[in-house]
Structures are given as structure tokens and as C-alpha cells.
């Protein structure tokens, strides 16, 4: 099966997931609100750090805290959307309150997951650069390999946590088990999600190349919007694939061909 078939299949899966997310407007709005909250926290941390700007301990402490908070917000947001998708696939109409309560019930597990994710994220940043902060070829390759391994281990973590009420380590084991059932050339769904940010990247690059700031700003907005849309899309897709992988049933709003081919066969 060719790369274009994979992209086409993944794109169809992304479109289907967004249609489901748009039926619950809060699923679309939540990533934007989380992003604004994170931005407000960053600004607050900057002002708090101004009096102690010369302290490396305070600076690194703030960076680590922001990393952890950012990852927790990301996983909490995705957990709410995964639960919402779970309910909708079961034929129920989830409310924002129900999804929030479900995520809150799993908050300790999500915090541990966020701590692990933040640690791996920082590790990838450190490994990918030399002592002067410049990217190195070997470091970038090693960082990419760690990223692929993390994707494999964590892809189904949230659906497993939300559906099976497992802890973080057990969710990793279960995720690997589900992914390796049909692991092959790659995940077409993940590739298609990255396409949501492509228009913004192109516009930003073009705007900077020709020196036209409004076009670059428009590209930045398009990039942010595309990335924010990829969050609910990814959550819905992961729940849909989880349902299909564990029950062989096609969730409402999805097509069997898209789900069966979401992972290239061995």
C-alpha cells in the first residue's frame, strides 16, 4: 500500500473524527482555552521570575514546573475528549460536566503520566543539542528514536486509562500490546494530523520570505488553529481505534476501511 493511500486514509479518519468532535462544541473550544490558560501561566511565571532572574535554580524550577503543568493540561484535556468520544460511540450524549468529572477522577494517574511525558520531552530536548544549545545530527536522530518509542508506548494510554481504569505502567503495557497487533510502516492517522498545521507553516514561511508581516501572522494563527484542532482529532481517533482494536466493532461515525487500515499491516 502506497504512501498516498496511507495519507488519504489517515486524512479521511481525521475528517471523521473532527465531525464527531464538532458535535460537541466544547471539544473544539477546550484546546484553545487550555492554550490561553497556559499562556497566562507563562506570563505569570515570567513576572514572578523577574526579581530572581539571576538564580539558575529558580529559573530551572520554573521551567520544570511549566513543563509539568503544560503536559498535565494537555493530558487532562485529551482525557476529557476521549471520555466524550467513548460516550458518543456508546450512543450517549456526554456533557462537559461528565467529561470533566471523569478526567478529575483520573487526575492522579494523569499527573503521573504528565510527569513521565514532561521528563521524556526534556530529555529529548537535551539529547538533541550540544552544550552550546545547537542541534546535532546524532542527537536529533537519537531524540527522534526516543519520540517514536514514546509514541508506541503511550498511543493508547489515555483510552486504556479511561476505559479500563488502569494505572500508568499497565496502560503502557496495554498500549504496546494494542499497537503491535498491527504495527507496520507507520501510523497514517498521526501523519494526517500533522497536515492540519501545514497551511500555517507554509503561510508563515512565505510571509517571512517575502517580508510581509501580516501574512506571517496569518500563518501563525492558522498554525495555532490547526494544532488546536489536532488535539480533539487525535483523542477521538485514539478512542475509535481502541474500540475497534478491542471489540472489532466500528464506532458510530467511522468507517471500517479507515480503522482497519489506520495501522499498516505487518
pLDDT for residue 193? 78
Among the listed residues 239, 265, 266, the one whose alpha carbon sits nearest the alpha carbon of residue 254: 239
pLDDT for residue 266? 47
3-state DSSP assignment of residue 127: helix
Q: Per residue in 238-251, pLDDT tens?
A: 999 899 888 888 88
Dist CA 38 CA 36 (whole Å)? 5
- DSSP E strand boundaries for 130-231: none
Alpha helices per DSSP H over 23-91: 25-49, 56-89
The yes-or-no verdict on residue 67 having pLDDT over 90 is no
The yes-or-no verdict on residue 184 having pLDDT over 50 is no
Q: What is the mean pLDDT of the chain?
A: 85
Burial class (CB in 10 A: 0-12, 13-18, 19+), 172: buried
Dist CA 155 CA 262 (whole Å)? 13
Residue 135, phi then psi, degrees to nearest 5 = -60, 140
The average pLDDT across 19-28 equals 92
DSSP 156: T
Among the listed residues 203, 201, 162, 156, the one whose alpha carbon sits nearest the alpha carbon of residue 181: 156
Dist CA 205 CA 140 (whole Å)? 22
Burial class (CB in 10 A: 0-12, 13-18, 19+), 77: buried
Dist CA 108 CA 266 (whole Å)? 36
Q: pLDDT tier at 2 (50, 70, 90 boundaries)?
A: low
Q: Does the predicted TM-score (pTM) go above 0.75? A: yes
Among the listed residues 186, 149, 156, 191, the one whose alpha carbon sits nearest the alpha carbon of residue 170: 156
DSSP 130: -
Residue carrying the nine cell digits 489517515: 10
Produce one character per residue of 195-217: b if its CB has 16 or more CB atoms within 10 Å, e if not: ebbeebeebbeebeeeeeeebbe
3-state DSSP assignment of residue 129: strand
The average pLDDT across 61-68 equals 82
The yes-or-no verdict on residue 79 having pLDDT over 60 is yes
The yes-or-no verdict on residue 163 having pLDDT over 90 is yes
The yes-or-no verdict on residue 25 having pLDDT over 60 is yes
Q: pLDDT tier at 187 (50, 70, 90 boundaries)?
A: low
Percent of the chain surpassing pLDDT 70: 86
Q: pLDDT tier at 55 (50, 70, 90 boundaries)?
A: low
Amino acid at each position: 500500500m502506497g504512501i498516498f493511500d496511507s495519507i488519504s486514509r489517515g486524512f479521511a479518519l481525521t475528517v471523521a473524527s473532527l465531525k464527531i468532535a464538532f458535535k460537541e462544541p466544547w471539544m473544539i473550544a477546550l484546546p484553545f482555552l487550555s492554550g490561553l490558560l497556559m499562556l497566562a501561566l507563562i506570563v505569570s511565571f515570567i513576572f514572578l521570575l523577574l526579581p530572581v532572574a539571576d538564580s539558575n535554580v529558580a529559573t530551572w524550577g520554573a521551567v520544570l514546573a511549566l513543563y509539568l503543568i503544560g503536559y498535565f493540561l494537555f493530558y487532562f484535556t485529551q482525557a476529557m475528549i476521549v471520555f466524550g468520544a467513548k460516550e458518543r460511540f456508546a450512543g450517549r450524549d456526554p456533557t462537559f460536566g461528565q467529561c470533566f468529572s471523569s478526567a478529575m477522577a483520573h487526575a492522579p494517574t494523569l499527573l503521573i503520566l504528565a510527569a513521565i511525558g514532561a521528563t521524556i520531552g526534556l530529555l529529548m530536548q537535551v539529547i538533541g543539542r550540544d552544550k552550546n544549545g545547537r542541534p546535532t545530527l546524532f542527537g536529533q536522530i537519537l531524540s527522534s528514536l526516543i519520540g517514536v518509542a514514546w509514541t508506541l508506548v503511550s498511543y493508547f494510554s489515555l483510552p486504556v486509562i479511561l476505559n479500563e481504569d488502569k494505572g500508568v505502567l499497565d496502560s503502557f503495557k496495554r498500549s504496546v500490546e494494542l499497537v503491535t497487533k498491527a504495527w507496520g510502516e507507520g501510523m497514517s492517522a498521526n501523519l494526517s494530523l500533522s497536515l492540519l498545521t501545514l497551511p500555517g507553516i507554509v503561510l508563515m514561511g512565505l510571509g517571512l520570505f517575502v517580508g510581509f508581516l501580516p501574512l506571517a501572522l496569518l500563518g501563525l494563527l492558522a498554525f495555532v488553529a490547526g494544532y488546536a484542532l489536532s488535539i480533539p482529532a487525535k483523542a477521538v481517533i485514539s478512542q475509535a481505534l481502541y474500540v475497534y482494536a478491542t471489540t472489532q466493532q466500528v464506532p458510530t461515525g467511522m468507517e471500517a476501511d479507515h480503522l482497519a487500515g489506520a495501522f499498516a499491516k505487518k
